[in-house]
Amino acid sequence: MTKATIRRKASMLIALLASVLFAASALAQTTGWISDHTHPPDELRLMLTGEADANNQTLQAVLDVKLADNWKTYWRSPGEAGIAPELDWSASNNIKQIEWHWPVPRYFKQLGIQTLGYQSHVAFPLTITLEHADQPAQLSARLRLPSCTDICVITDYPIEMTIDPRALKIEQEAMFLFNQGLSQSPRPNNDVHVSASYWDDAQQQFIVQLINKTAWQSPQVLVDGHDVDNEFFGKPRLITGGDSESSAGHLLTAIFNVSNWKGHVDLSGKSVVVTVADTTFATEIATPVGATPIQTKTTSMIAMIAFALIGGLILNVMPCVLPVLGLKLNSIALQYDASAQQIRASFIASALGIITSFALLAGMLTALKMGGGSVGWGIQFQSVQFIVLMLSVTFIFALNLLGLFEFRLPSRLNTWAAQQGKQSYLGHFVQGMFATLLATPCSAPFLGTAVAYALGASIGELWVIFIALGIGMNAPWLLFAIAPKLVQFMPKPGVWMNRVKIGFGLMMLATTYWLISLLSPFFGVGVVWLVGLTITLFTFIWLVKQYGRKVFIPIIATFTLGGGTVLLIGSLTADHWATPTVDDLNWQTLRSDTITQLTDQGKTVFVDVTADWCITCKANKIGVILQDPVYSELQKPNMVLMKGDWTTPNDNVTQYLHSNGRYGVPFNIVYGPNAPKGIPLPVILSEQHVMEAIKQASK
């Protein structure tokens, strides 16, 4: 091979490699990571997603910024100090505009100064508009990026990229970061609007009220705008509440303390931009500052606390709690000759158990809210594991009360308990926790309003309401703790206690049957019926063996073998108990998207959102829905009946509840030509309420 041939082939190889390298760089669509050796904590890159809109001559890009350790950068309005990031692209060719999308920031406070921004990592979506979509463009830009910890550094980063809109390809990582950032950035949302705003010059406060078509979950509100460059809107106080229960979760009031380093602030006649975000959306609304004072309903939280106290008190007489109250009454009788200190301590232990359960519920709901999950009163009964745990505990308690075995502590613990008093305080604590967990399938007047408010309010308000519920439920227990001498009004211990103990055991056994019936959606009717029958036979045989042919054996036998089985079969084979009227109503599955169409046709729609584990739902059905005149009214040709089943998790039903500001069942509402938005009914139904709502909604 001659030298000329070798040189020619080498030149061809070099040209081929050069073309491959050029093609690879052209298709990379990223600047790669850019850093500055004078400030190592920050690095960034610009990436094209590969998506373009030929009609609008736009393409998508994402500015990916990483910040080391505790370094932060700022939002477009940085707060009391700092400056916003800035992109200067004036030296670019064939680029008409670059729109910067800002993800909703977090509040940071350092050295007493409040700022808004991002920590560790943030992806800024960019929309690039070309002057000529069929020609290459050259992006020549300079990014001024401030970053701060205890010190602040401003660094300029050069960004160079050749863009050929004809050679774009989809980049998965860039697409992910772009969509992630865009989902956290404000976008138009017709469901949210500003209903009122007001500048209180005397208090130097800006107040804005927002209405959401669906109920608020964990809202965040920010204010800035071109007219208020020097003003700082501090972290607002948020109040969720309306004039009625149905609007309680839809109205949001934000109160901002406004300051200016120049001194006095005056927002009169100015316009602001309100940015509001919740668990599923972020949007911004430009609005003029109003001059009409706003009623902020600052007493709503106090009213809701009062509702929670009353609702918690009512829980003590709910059917599921009665067996546990029976246990407590039994323990009261046994403490007839106990000292005041021992009685007080036992009731305080029970009260702490109740408060602990409500705190656990609040913690669970807080985690769900922060994670964007569905929240609601009694949702733990949608979990098969929770139901199995509860029925196991109730069955063990029932067997213990019926005399199958006695709870025995280890000798050391037994000695310790004896030294503390005649009963273990741990047992009283467990009784309190158990009573609370069994109460959650029930709703009641005041309770539903308080819970709806709590689940639609801030995390702090949720905890306040749930602790108030616990205090309300604690009221009877605390009464004995305050006045231990009340125990002396109880009958003295004697033979009667054995029979009362049997009664309490049967009540606990009935609760076990009910919990077993809740498993049918998970395991099927046959399996659950077999488990229930096995428990019934076992209990009956034991009672006969234990108590022989005593006078109360027929009662026990009738209840366990007869009543228990009927209760089980009735609750499993139909969606109701042994009811005065068979539920043969023409129920349809809830489809909220068809309600408007039906009311436009002149129909009246009755919606029943229920669950098998909801005791109040059963009471409403037995006492009102399946009784005349409501039963006959619901059978008329112009009526459409829709049922939302929340026995097991159902996203459609959950969303429907939340859209109406509700977080638990039962929920009933009537729609019609004269009430297209619906007439919500009370938690506990009455014939009068249902009939009046149907009459009002219908033509």
- Domain interval for residue 363: 301-385+408-492
Residues 326, 269 share a domain? no
DSSP-assigned beta bridge partners for residue 271: 288
Q: Mean of the pLDDT values across residues 404-409?
A: 50
Residues 379, 245 share a domain? no
What is the C-alpha to C-alpha distance for residues 228 and 271, in angstroms, rounded to an integer?
8
Closest CA to 463 of 387, 359, 321: 359
pLDDT for position 569: 43
Closest CA to 587 of 620, 624, 628, 631: 631
Residues 136, 282 share a domain? no
pLDDT for position 386: 77
Q: Return mean pLDDT, the chain.
A: 79
- Give 432's Cβ-side CA count (13 Å radius): 29
CATH number at residue 634: 3.40.30.10
Residues 342, 280 share a domain? no
Domain end among 142, 163, 184: 184
The predicted-structure confidence for 95-115, as pLDDT tens digits, reads as follows 999 999 999 999 988 777 888
Report if residue 539 sits inside a domain. Answer: no
Report if residue 614 sits inside a domain. Answer: yes
Cis upstream peptide for 219 (omega within 30°): no
Supply the DSSP symbol for 130: E
Residues 488, 342 share a domain? yes
**Strand order through the sheet with 639-645:** 587-589, 639-645, 604-610, 667-672, 675-680
Cis upstream peptide for 666 (omega within 30°): yes
- Are 510 and 394 contacting, i.e. CB atoms less than 8 angstroms apart? no
Strands 113-119 and 106-110, by their bridges, are antiparallel
Report if residue 158 sits inside a domain. Answer: yes
Q: Mean of the pLDDT values across residues 275-292?
A: 91
Confidence of residue 313 (pLDDT cuts 50, 70, 90): confident
Q: Which amino acid is at 463?
A: W
Computed over its alpha carbons, how large is the radius of gyration of the chain?
A: 33
Which of 173-182, 226-235, 444-453 is the least confident region?
A: 444-453
Both tokens assigned to 345: 């301590």
Both tokens assigned to 186: 């404000």
Domain end among 234, 262, 289: 289
Question: What are the start-end ranges of the E strands in 54-183?
Answer: 58-67, 72-79, 86-88, 95-100, 106-110, 113-119, 121-130, 137-148, 152-163
Supply the DSSP symbol for 558: I
Residues 335, 260 share a domain? no
pTM for this entry: 0.51
Alpha-carbon distances, residue 538 vs 368, 395, 495, 535, 604 (angstroms): 40, 12, 26, 5, 50
Helices (H), 261-339: 300-314, 322-334
Compute the Cα dihedral for 252, 253, 257, 259 and give only its sign: positive
pLDDT for position 128: 96
Instruction: Provide the domain count of the chain.
Output: 4
Which of 11-15, 172-176, 386-390, 438-442 is the least confident region?
A: 11-15
Domain end among 143, 160, 184: 184
Report if residue 450 sits inside a domain. Answer: yes
Report if residue 11 sits inside a domain. Answer: no
Residues 477, 332 share a domain? yes
The predicted-structure confidence for 558-607, as pLDDT tens digits, reads as follows 455 444 544 444 444 344 337 445 678 999 999 988 998 999 999 999 99
pLDDT for position 334: 60
Closest CA to 575 of 605, 617, 606: 617
DSSP element (H, E) containing 668: strand 667-672
Q: Mean of the pLDDT values across residues 401-428?
A: 52
Which of 11-15, 144-148, 391-395, 659-663 is the least confident region?
A: 11-15
Residues 243, 204 share a domain? yes
Q: Mean of the pLDDT values across residues 338-350?
A: 79
Residues 168, 86 share a domain? yes
DSSP element (H, E) containing 416: helix 411-420
Place of tokens 């489809």: 591
Supply the DSSP symbol for 93: B
- Are 377 and 440 contacting, i.e. CB atoms less than 8 angstroms apart? yes
Which of 28-42, 196-210, 615-629 is the least confident region?
A: 615-629
Residues 284, 309 share a domain? no
Report if residue 508 sits inside a domain. Answer: no
Which of 20-24, 91-95, 397-401 is the least confident region?
A: 20-24
The predicted-structure confidence for 315-342, as pLDDT tens digits, reads as follows 777 666 666 666 666 666 666 666 777 7
Residues 356, 484 share a domain? yes
Whether 78 shows a pLDDT value over 60: the answer reads: yes
* Contacts by residues 569-578 (CB-CB < 8 Å, ≥ 24 positions apart): 569/529, 571/513, 571/514, 571/517, 571/612, 572/517, 572/520, 572/525, 572/528, 572/529, 573/525, 575/612, 576/618, 576/621, 576/622, 576/626, 577/618, 577/622
Highest averaged pLDDT of the listed ranges 146-160, 530-544, 642-656: 146-160
- Are 677 and 697 contacting, i.e. CB atoms less than 8 angstroms apart? no
The more confident residue out of 204 and 28 is 204
What is the C-alpha to C-alpha distance for residues 118 and 101, in angstroms, rounded to an integer?
14
Report if residue 49 sits inside a domain. Answer: yes
What is the C-alpha to C-alpha distance for residues 180 and 185, in angstroms, rounded to an integer?
9
DSSP-assigned beta bridge partners for residue 548: none
- Give 277's Cβ-side CA count (13 Å radius): 17
Highest averaged pLDDT of the listed ranges 130-144, 221-235, 441-455: 130-144
Report if residue 319 sits inside a domain. Answer: yes
CATH number at residue 168: 2.60.40
The predicted-structure confidence for 510-521, as pLDDT tens digits, reads as follows 777 777 877 777
Closest CA to 527 of 572, 561, 559: 572
Note the residue count of the chain: 699
The more confident residue out of 437 and 333 is 437
Which of 86-95, 163-172, 384-393, 586-595 is the least confident region?
A: 384-393
Confidence of residue 551 (pLDDT cuts 50, 70, 90): very low
What is the C-alpha to C-alpha distance for residues 113 and 79, in angstroms, rounded to an integer?
8
Which of 54-63, 444-453, 650-659 is the least confident region?
A: 444-453
The more confident residue out of 145 and 331 is 145
Compute the Cα dihedral for 502, 507, 508, 510 and give only its sign: positive
- Are 222 and 233 contacting, i.e. CB atoms less than 8 angstroms apart? yes
Residues 443, 321 share a domain? yes
Confidence of residue 312 (pLDDT cuts 50, 70, 90): confident
The predicted-structure confidence for 654-684, as pLDDT tens digits, reads as follows 888 877 777 778 899 999 998 888 888 888 8
| Contacts with 196 (C-beta within 8 Å, 6 or more apart), sequence order | 208, 209, 290, 292, 294
Q: pLDDT above 90 covers what percent of the chain?
A: 31
Strands 251-260 and 121-130, by their bridges, are unpaired
